[in-house]
Structure 1
């Protein structure tokens, strides 16, 4: 069974979220991406900010993570994007197989 990772990032607009999600799925770097509207409070350049953002949650494998991270860094609109990944310790085997199959590069 493949080791599944959940990868999170945020963007400012729904259009950016849709674009990143579609690119990563089309490139087989993520099997699926969930997009949620959120409110974020953070400190940036010495100032506390409060803004709406969109959170993207990518499902991928540990093998595809380096390529996913590189593609997100290249396409991300933020100067310093939050890109955070964590492994799933428990996963339905059939779901893990599906994710692995969707991110496998085909000739």
Structure 2
């Protein structure tokens, strides 16, 4: 099985930076970045409307906690949204690739 985390970021550069770090640390198999998303929300009593980049990361369920912790450490927001989507089914070959990628990701010096 795999775990997918949804993480809005302040901009594309932040999403890329977090993705690179998580891949270098062998915590995720891959990341997708949706470069532009309009977000509306109430923060500290004020209606906010901003543009964010959406980061989707794929990992194994046993890595989920460490991935969430690292995202909190790397993220610019004081209260980042990190949501796990429960995956009910997945292409078995893709799930195997995710598991294998976490074992064989090149070390940072070779990236």
With the length of structure 1 as denominator, give the TM-score of the two structures. 0.91
Measured after TM superposition, the shift of residue 34 of structure 1 is 0.5
1:35 to 30, 33, 36: 33
CA distance in 2, matches of 1:97, 1:66: 20
1:11 to 2:35 alignment: no
Runs of 5+ unmatched residues, structure 1: none
Structure 1 CA distance, aligned partners of 2:44 and 2:102? 37
Is 1:94 aligned to residue 93 of structure 2? Answer: yes
* SS of structure 1 residue aligned to 2:32: strand
| Deviations 1:14-44 (CA, angstroms, capped at 9, x unpaired) | 2111100111111111111100111100110
- Provide the rounded CA distance (Å) in 2 between the counterparts of 1:92 and 1:80: 33
* RMSD between superposed Cα atoms in Å: 1.3
Where do 5+ consecutive residues of structure 2 fail to align? Answer: 106-111
TM-score (norm 2): 0.88
Aligned residue for 2:19, secondary structure, equals helix
Stretches of 4+ aligned residues off by more than 3 angstroms? none
In the alignment, the residues of structure 2 paired with residue 16 and residue 33 of structure 1 have an alpha-carbon distance, to the nearest angstrom, of: 13
